[in-house]
Amino acid sequence: MVFVGSYAPVLFFLASGFGLGLSHARKGPPAWPATLWKVALLVLADQVSYWSRGEPFGIDFFSFIGFGMLMLAAVARAGRPVAVCVGLAGAIVAVRWGAGPILVSWLPPFAPLDWWLGVRPVVDVSYPFSPWAIFSLAGFALGCRYVAGRPARTPRLADAWLWVGLGAAALAFVLAGVMMANGSVPFRWSTMNATYFLLAIGVVCTAGLAARSASIAVPKVASRLALGGVASFAFIPVHYALLAISRHALAPMSVGGYFLACMVLIPLSWWLAERVAAAAMSEAAARHEHAVFATLLVAALCLSALILADPWPRGLVSPIAWTVVTQLAIAALLGLRTITAKRAEPVDRHVARA
């Protein structure tokens, strides 16, 4: 279960890039102020987790999504963004499994360089740039191509995507199987080896084909199971909060009990995350947007300062509780920003026509 769950970041990074690619193809490159605001919130959301453990700085899930947004905002401004994505992905593969191992054998440990190369682990860094950035780049390129290909919804085009996806998945799984048979164990924590990377390609292709098939076969179910950006963000602190609450009650447990707990906790996390997103993007929040925005921002900053200062004994106030509340406030801030962007679109079009 842990191994299967280790592919969740792969799919999330790809989906985040895909969403940005769709947005770019329809509206053009994202504005820098909005991008920087989102990145700042994502990095802060990660840091409160590190501060609650007494660590000064780290790069985890949220921070990497933020760095990916910065990278893709720059790529979106290129003349041919899809070609840039393909070129960068190829360069990252060449660096990670070609030049990178040679460079680290010559150079002493240096955290920024090691983060870029992805060969040598860096303390408190879960996702090095190489090769994880490939999934964001691939998602962005696919999002752009998806919008470009939609007007020509021909069976031949659909068949081409189907066969390319199936072929890539089969090839990736076969190559990974050969490497595993020769003793290479899939590994992705702190660094990622080639076997895991090939399996990730197979998982991505399979998941993409499954999602596309579900959207055609059972569109209502597929759309109901889809989480928006704010809900996807809120899912993580909500899920960790439920795990922290239930840990002492559920452990130790049998294998059957573990699966039963998963069947309860995961849908519950899903439902609660959707409720957080709905509240953040509700009409009530929109009517009092400035007051809600100021309150949430001040609350997030004050809670972050409290976590960093840690004035209370550990047994009195759980660091996880403060972290969860802060991250949910940040999720709501992202939701309010989404409302602002949607409200601004008709005005922008009107100004353009004028």
* pLDDT tens-digit series, residues 157-180: 556 777 888 899 999 999 999 999
- pLDDT over 70 (residue 156): no
Contact 209, 162 (CB under 8 A): yes
Domain assignments of the chain as residue spans, ordered by start? 227-354
Distance CA 266, CA 258 (A): 12
Which pLDDT value is given to residue 161?
72
In this predicted structure, the answer to whether residue 214 has a pLDDT above a threshold of 90 is: no
Question: Where is average pLDDT lowest: 25-34, 289-298, 329-338?
Answer: 329-338
Rounded mean pLDDT, 125-153: 85
Tell me, what's the pLDDT at 120? 94
pTM: 0.87
Task: Give pLDDT tens digits for 315-324.
Answer: 555 778 888 9
What is the model's pLDDT at position 312?
56
Q: 82-106: per-residue pLDDT in tens?
A: 999 999 999 999 999 999 999 999 9
Q: Mean pLDDT check: name the lowest of 32-46, 105-119, 135-149, 167-181.
A: 135-149
Q: Is the pLDDT of residue 154 over 80?
A: no
Residue with tokens 């899809």: 82
Cβ-proximal residues to 190 (8 Å cutoff; 6+ apart), any chain: 121, 122, 125, 126, 128
pLDDT band at 134 (very low <50, low <70, confident <90, very high): very high
Tokens, residue 20: 């940005």
- Rounded CA separation 7/261 (Å): 20
Closest Cα partner for 277 from 287, 285, 265? 285
How many CB atoms are located within 10 Å of the residue 157 CB?
12
Of 78, 67, 77, which is closest to residue 17 (Cα–Cα)?
67
Is residue 57 within 8 A of residue 124, CB to CB? The reply is: yes
Please tell me the predicted confidence (pLDDT) of residue 157. Answer: 55
For residue 347, the model assigns a pLDDT of: 41
Residues near 264 by beta carbon (within 8 Å), at least 6 away in sequence: none
pLDDT at 109 over 50: yes
The pLDDT value recorded for residue 226 is 73
Question: Residue 338's pLDDT is what?
Answer: 59
pLDDT by residue (tens digit) across 252-308? 778 888 888 888 998 999 999 999 998 888 888 888 888 999 999 999 999 898 888
Predicted confidence at residue 41, as pLDDT, reads 94
Tell me what the mean pLDDT of segment 243-253 comes to: 77
Q: What confidence score (pLDDT) does residue 126 get?
A: 92
Q: Taking 50 as the threshold, does the pLDDT of residue 351 lie above it?
A: no
Tell me which of 37-46, 164-173, 182-191, 241-250 is least confident.
Answer: 241-250
